[in-house]
Amino acid sequence: MAPSAGAFKHLSLVLGAAVTALGSLLFIAWKTYFRDGNASSSWRGQWEQQLEAEPGCNLREEELHSCERQVLVLGLDGAGKSSVLHYISSVAAKGRASPTQGFNSVRLHADGLQMDLLEVGGSQNLRSYWNQYLTWAHVLVFVVDSSDSSRLPTACQELHNLLAEDPQLPLVVLANKQDKSDALSVAELHQELALHTLNGQREFFLLPTSAIRSSLATATSILHLKSLLVKLLAQV
């Protein structure tokens, strides 16, 4: 007898979770490898060359990690995380982004900082893994699709679950897809996401963004995000 569609769905969820768990472990191992200074000379050599190219990064052994910063980028599936990451790291236009299975990262250099932005996919089966990445983060960027009002309660719930895990982690909420005619305003999103309930313990910003290359305004919004990240991460 052929397996039912339900069985296939169950199997794909289990496989997806296994792939993500493996991805998490690999990521943690990768970060630990660098943090513990156990990298082989060839890896270390490559990495130093990369940093050397960046003005302001000091390469002395004891300061090698002083310019590393981690930015965790989360939000529901389709919110625009991959698009924001692509836009902030590249001048080349990109077509439709594919849903992220597992995680996706980009590395930026600015003002002597090396910033690793890590996106974990936002589909439901991946969200239970989000909080595992909070430990590594210096800033949390939470991306919201401002035009997807039906899923704002879910976004709100997921965001507050994360915030409860770390009461001090600086937070940047992106009110993305502001180019869309049905996008809620920043003030409306502030209300819908219950951001007034945040206590004063963490630094918090709510930025309107658009991650498609349709106008100067959208490009400017991503530049604002980049400057804000540099400012926040320089204080860490």
Ligand X SMILES: Nc1nc2c(ncn2[C@@H]2O[C@H](COP(=O)(O)OP(=O)(O)OP(=O)(O)O)[C@@H](O)[C@H]2O)c(=O)[nH]1
Inter-residue contact 77 to 121 (CB < 8 Å): yes
**CB closer to ligand X, 44 vs 213:** 213
Q: Which listed option, ligand X, Mg ion, none, makes contact with residue 78 (CB within 5 to 8 Å by class)?
A: ligand X
82 near Mg ion, judged by CB under 5 A: yes
The β-bridge relationship of strands 113-120 and 103-110 is antiparallel
Residue 31 Rama label (left phi>0; alpha psi -120 to 50; beta):
alpha
**Residue 19, C-beta contacts closer than 8 angstroms, at least 6 positions apart:** 101, 102
Binding mask 198-217 for ligand X (x = CB under 6 A): ------------xxx-----
Q: What strands, in cross-sheet order, belong to the sheet with 113-120?
A: 103-110, 113-120, 68-74, 139-145, 171-176, 204-208
Do the annotations mark residue 76 as ligand-binding?
yes
Please choose, out of 5-13, 97-105, 128-136, 147-155, the segment that lies near Mg ion by the rule CB under 5 A: 97-105
We find the least distance from the C-beta atom of residue 103 to Mg ion, in angstroms, to be: 9
Q: Footprint of ligand X on this chain (CB under 6 A)?
A: 75, 77-83, 96-97, 99-100, 121-123, 143, 176-177, 179-180, 210-212
Binding site residue list for Mg(2+)? 82, 100
